[in-house]
Every structure is written in structure tokens, then in C-alpha cells.
Chain A
Amino acid sequence: MIGILLFAAAFVLLMLGYPVAFTFAAVAIAFAVLTGQVELFAMLPERIYALMTNFTLMAVPLFIFMGMVLQRSGLAETLLETIGMLFGRLRGGIAIGTILVGSILAASTGIVGATVVAMSLIALPVMLKYGYNRRFAAGVICAAGTLGQIIPPSIVLIVLGEVLQVPVGDLFRAAFMPGIALALLYVVWTIAVGLLRPQWLPPLPLEHQPSWQRIVWAVAPPVFLIVLVLGSIFAGIATPTESAAVGAIGSVGLSLLHRRFSWQLLWEAARETARISAMVFTILIGATAFSMAFSYAGGEQAVYDFFERLPGGPAGMLVVAMLLIFFLGFFLDFVEISYIVVPIIAPVLVRAGFDPLWLGVVIAMNLQTSFLTPPFGFSLFYLKGAAPSMETLDIYRGVIPFISLQVLMVCALVLAPELFGLQRMLR
């Protein structure tokens, strides 16, 4: 009961808009003070120290750094322009090109913000200029940019691997097929919309096709990075942390190749990486404090009892857990959900017999929605930030079909995991 009160208090305070990390921590402290149990935090430094010596989470700043260097290397722009020219003359071609570029960038690094911003700056003006439906344009850019969080390597998968105690490399491998399937689903949807509402997705009156040299010049570098990073992880040569460092060095190499390299670029990328890492890890520290108070208050037992009493056995538990994550995604972002909510409900599901690896992929797919669900979806902010002329309501309406497609994918993963080479239950 106190556990639920803790959550309720945290939510009310969060809505006021003070930074999430400190709000969660403060609620935990208020609980400890009110119940006279401040000693429970004597273990907090030990838990912070565990974060400081965590080899898995070390991949987070490294992948962020890789993404920041890539963002400044001009690779995304070149890729987007070339692929746009390649597909532009088809109906819905720019949208399909955007999804393709989103997938390629997702597989090479997977920083959502950078991808959405690049696309909003390059693809969106082109789409709008030639009369694309505004809502569809906004939706497809947000959705394509968000692919970075389900297609490995991704920060969400690293954090989930850590929480679920699954090797991150295995989780990367397991999430690869579902991620690609989601991208394909977006493409199918775009083609369908093009057939049903031709005026929404007009073909572009482009005069020339890009030369094949230009295509190779644009596509080869990211493919090289994908092979370097994902290849080394999947082949078992490097841990995700190691391959992140290799990828970061590789992306510096690419910026040299594109003649974009400067010491200033490197320094700014490092500075931005430090800021984003601080943001992520401060939430992890605040979430740790909250979880300590939550389990002290018997919250975990309460959650366990609640799930045990649900009708429908394991299936009922899964449905409730997924709905919970989906609706929390409207308000919280993936870091809080994976670090506070998942550790509480995942053990219940694992005890019910679900495979943690499969669970990680399903949760990651479900968390995709948290990037797109208004009012608090990261991708929506990035799009709005990069394209202020876009109406907020148009963006909200535009992402609804794509959120539905993501929900469809969650259902597919639950009902037919074999399609993606996964198994639902632990044998």
C-alpha cells in the first residue's frame, strides 16, 4: 500500500515539472524521513558505486559519443539526400527513403534525437514543398527516427539487458529481426497510404538520378560501421562496450573521410556526450534511491501479490504489465520505465515462466511507443524543435498510425514469437 502511495506521490510531483531524477529521489527520502528509516540509504553509496563500476552500462556514453560524432560528420545528411533522390520519383518515395535511412542510422548508432533532427531539417522541408500531407510527414519522420531504439545497438536495449540480467549482446541479436520487421511494416503502411490517398504522397519531379558513385559514397560508410559494430558483437568478437568504442573511433574516421573532421567537432561531441550521459545516469541514481525505498516499503511484495491475484494466469499478468508500460510511456521516458518499473514487474513475469530475453525484446518494442506518445514523447520534441512551423496537433495526429503499428508489432511478438526466432517461455 505504501508502495503505491510512493508512486502516486512521485507522479503528482513529477507533473509539476521539476527534473525527474531528483523528484524520484526526493520522494524516496521523504518516505524514509516520515517513517524514521533514513538508515536505509546507508547502502546508497554502495549502489552508486555499483553503477560506477558497471562494464555493461559503460557502453551508454560510448554509443552516445559515437552518435554525436556521426551526427556532426555529415553522414546522415549525405545518406538522406542521396536516398531521397534515388526514391523521390516514386509515390511516397521520400517517406520510404526516410524509413530506410532511419533503419540504417539505427543499426549504425541509434541515437533517436540526432536522427529525428537530421530528418526534420532535410526530409521534412522537401516533403512539405512538394505537397506531402503534413501529418503523415511528421509521423513518418518521428517513427523512422525512433527505430534507433529497437534496432541494435541501442541505449534502451543496454539498460534493459542490465535490468533483466540478460547479456546485452544476446538482446541485440534477439531484437534485430523484430526491429527490421517494424521498419518493413512502416514501408508497407506507407505504400498502402500511397495507394489509398495518392494526393497525400505525391512523387517528386526530380530531374536527375544520383550517379552510382554518389550512392556508394553515401551508403558505404554507414554499412561499414554496421559491419564493424554489430558484426563484431554478433560474431562474439567484442562486447557491446568494446564495439561501441570501436564504432566511435570508426565514426571519427568517417568524419575525416567526409572532410568534416575538426578538433572542435570532437570536443563538442564529447561535451554533448558528457551532458547526455549525466542526464541518463542521474536518472539511474535517482531511480536507485526510489527503488530502495520502494522495496523497503514492501512494494515489490505488493506488486507480486497483485499480479498473482490477476485472472488469466501468466497471460493475464503479461497483458497487465504491457498495458502498464504502454500507459506509463505517455508520461515517463524509457530510462525511468526500464530502471524503475521493469525491475519491479519483470521478476514476476520471469517467475511465471516467460523467457527474459523474449521479455526484453517485447518490452523494448513496447517502449518504442513512449518516444511517440504525446504529450511526452522525445521524438515529438525533437521534431518540433527542428521544425517549429509544424503544428503540435498535426504531429500528434501524424504519429497515431505509427504508434498503432508498434502496438501491432508488440502483439505479433507476443502471439507468434517463432516468426522472429524467439521463444516465449523458458524451457
Chain B
Amino acid sequence: MLRNPLEDSSMERLVQAVERVLRGAESVAALCVLVLTLLVFGNVLARYVFNVSAMALQELQWYFYALTFLLAMAPTLRIGGHVRIDVLYARFPEVWQRRIDIFGTLLLLLPFTGVVLWASYDFVAYSFAIREASPNPGGLPAVYVFKAAIPLSFGLLATAALALVWRRARGQDHAAAKEQRL
């Protein structure tokens, strides 16, 4: 098959841009871990030491906790961090591993992200339409923004999946991605 080198390099640049976004997402997720720890710790202090409890602060914990795993989902795909049963996989020849990754991503992962994106459209659109706020007294006012994290993170996952297909189709693997980054 003939490859157009120009197309090749513009695709490569696009994939690299996606990967930069993924690195950024992972950093934000890591930041969320730190903020979450401080928030929960702070809440314990506030309750026992200062005897106050703020609903808004407790709800804020949810946001950082949820963003931790939602945002890290896609970058973790890139470094091959999702658990797989590799009893057979590890023994397959390289070509087969690549095929499993490519077809698995196209036939298993992308339909899944598609369904979540499809289903979350109504879910989030409704929340936006009514400007949904927290049902708890003293809660945060913008639950709809929080709910939008679902399509956002699954959109990111789908993008990472496409970038992964491109990498795997060109014979590059997760390990290379990991080393490149660290």
C-alpha cells in the first residue's frame, strides 16, 4: 500500500496533539487527587475541630473524586493501564496482539463510548435545560456542569481510542508510549 508522506505527517501531528491533551488530562486528574485529599481532610478538621459542616464543601469532594477517574480513563488507555487477561495475549505473536488491540478498540471500545455518549446526551441536555442545582440544602448550584463530565470524559476516551488505533496500526505499542512520556 502506498502511503502519502504528507498525509502521514499531518495525521502524526494530529495524534501527537491528542496525546498532549491526554497528558494534560492526566495531570489534571493527579491534581484532583491532591485537592480531594485536602478537601476530605479539611472537612474532617472542620467538623471535629471547628464543629462546622458545609454541604457545598462536601459536594465539592464528589467533583474532584469523580474527575480523578473520569479524566484519567483516556490517558490510562494510552499507556495500556487497563487490566487485561493476558494469559494468552502475552503469548500471541506481535502481529496478533496488534490486531486484537485494533479490532478490540474498533469493535468493543468505540461502540461502548458511542452508547455512553448517545445516552448521556439526553441526560445532560435535560440537566442543562432545567439548570439543575443540588437537591441538598446549601449544595452547589451547577450540577449540570458536573454531569457534563460524563460525555466529556467518554468523548476523550473515544478520541484516545482513535489515536491508539493509529499508533497500533503503525506498529507502535503501549510501552513505547509510556517511556516517551515518563
Q: Contact residues of A with B, CB < 8 Å?
A: 13-23, 25-26, 29-30, 38, 41-46, 48-49, 51-53, 58, 61-62, 65, 237-238, 241-242, 244-246, 248-249, 266-267, 270-271, 273-283, 286, 289, 331-333, 335, 375-376
A280-B69 contact, Cβ under 8 Å, with A13-B108, A45-B119: yes
**Sample (30) of A-B pairs whose CB atoms are under 8 Å apart:** A14-B85, A17-B84, A17-B86, A17-B90, A18-B109, A19-B109, A20-B84, A22-B112, A25-B108, A26-B112, A45-B123, A45-B150, A52-B62, A62-B40, A238-B44, A241-B40, A242-B40, A245-B41, A246-B44, A248-B41, A273-B30, A274-B71, A274-B72, A277-B69, A278-B69, A281-B70, A282-B69, A282-B76, A286-B112, A335-B83
Between B34, B82, B120, the greatest number of chain A beta carbons within 10 A of the residue's beta carbon is seen for B82
A52-B62, A277-B68 known; A61 vs B83 contact (CB < 8 Å): no
Checking A18, A41, A44, A267 against B84 with a beta-carbon cut-off of 8 angstroms, the contacting residue is A18
Q: Chain B residues with Cβ under 8 A from A15's Cβ?
A: 85, 87-88
Taking each of B65, B71, B73, B146, which has the highest tally of chain A beta carbons within 10 Å of its own beta carbon? B65
| Of the residues B37, B76, B105, contact of A62 by C-beta under 8 Å | B37
Decide if the interface of chain B is mainly helix, strand, loop or mixed: helix
A171 to B89, CA, bound (A): 37
Q: Report the 7 A-B pairs with minimum CB-CB distance, sorted nearest first.
A: A17-B89, A18-B104, A278-B72, A245-B40, A26-B108, A52-B66, A19-B82
Contact B37 A271 (CB under 8 A): no
Separation of A19 and B100 alpha carbons in the complex (Å): 10
Which residue in chain B gives the minimum CB-CB distance to A333? B83
Q: With A17-B85, A242-B44 as given contacts, are A48 and B116 in contact (CB-CB < 8 Å)?
A: yes
The residues of B with any CB-CB pair to A shorter than 8 Å are 26-27, 29-34, 36-37, 39-41, 43-44, 48, 61-62, 65-66, 68-73, 75-77, 79, 81-90, 92, 97, 100-101, 104-105, 107-109, 111-112, 115-116, 118-120, 122-124, 146-147, 149-150
Q: A20 vs B83: C-alpha distance in the bound complex, in angstroms?
A: 6
Q: Which residues of B contact A249 (CB under 8 A)?
A: 37, 41
**Chain A positions within 8 Å of B112 at CB level:** 22, 25-26, 29, 286, 289
Q: Are A274 and B68 in contact (CB under 8 A)?
A: yes
CA distance A282 to B116 in the complex (A): 13
The answer to whether B43 and A242 have CB atoms under 8 Å apart is: yes
A18-B104, A53-B62 as given contacts; A29 in contact with B115, CB under 8 Å: yes
> Could you tell me if A279 and B84 are in contact, using CB atoms closer than 8 angstroms?
no
Contacts of A22 in B (CB 8 A): 82, 104, 108-109, 112
Residues on A with C-beta less than 8 A from B86 are 17
Q: Which residue among B36, B76, B108, B111 has the maximum number of chain A CB atoms within 10 Å of its CB?
A: B108
Contact A273 B33 (CB under 8 A): yes
A53: chain B residues at CB < 8 Å are: 62, 66
Complex CA–CA separation, A45 to B105 (angstroms):
21
Q: Which residues of A contact B84 (CB under 8 A)?
A: 17-20
A281: chain B residues at CB < 8 Å are 69-70, 73
In the assembled complex, the CB of A425 is this many whole angstroms from the nearest CB of chain B, namely 36
- Smallest CB separation, B142 vs chain A (Å): 14
**B61 and A58: CB pair below 8 A?**
yes
A282 to B69, CA, bound (A): 8
What's the Cα separation between A22 and B84 when bound, in Å?
Answer: 10
Q: Roughly how many angstroms separate A245 CA and B20 CA in the complex, as a whole number?
A: 30
Min CB gap B173→A, angstroms: 13
Q: Pick from A30, A58, A275, A335: contact of B72, CB below 8 A.
A: A275
